[in-house]
Amino acid sequence: YGLAAISALADVDAISVSMAHMANHRTALTVAATAILIAAMVNTAVKAVLVWALCGGTMAWRITALAGAMVVAAGGVWLVGW
């Protein structure tokens, strides 16, 4: 899961495709889905930080609220289970 988080700092597509491929062959579906979910949440948080650093102001607050809502929803899905 740590590798999924580190990979998502730059791009979420690569880890998503890799884990989807691995889920078809040798990795459990729950492990692959959890790694993709972690990667998506980390990548969303990184984008929110970039907006704060580059834009600030009203746009940063809006993006942070939306990104926060997405991360909370994804965390809720993970806690409840698939």
pTM for the structure as a whole: 0.78
**Residues in the chain with pLDDT < 70?**
82
Rounded CA gap, 34 and 76, in Å? 12
Rounded CA gap, 33 and 58, in Å? 34
- Write down the pLDDT at residue 30: 84
Rounded CA gap, 44 and 26, in Å? 28
Q: Is the dihedral of CA 43, 13, 62, 38 positive or negative?
A: negative
- Write down the pLDDT at residue 82: 59
- Write down the pLDDT at residue 53: 93
In terms of residues, how long is the chain?
Answer: 82
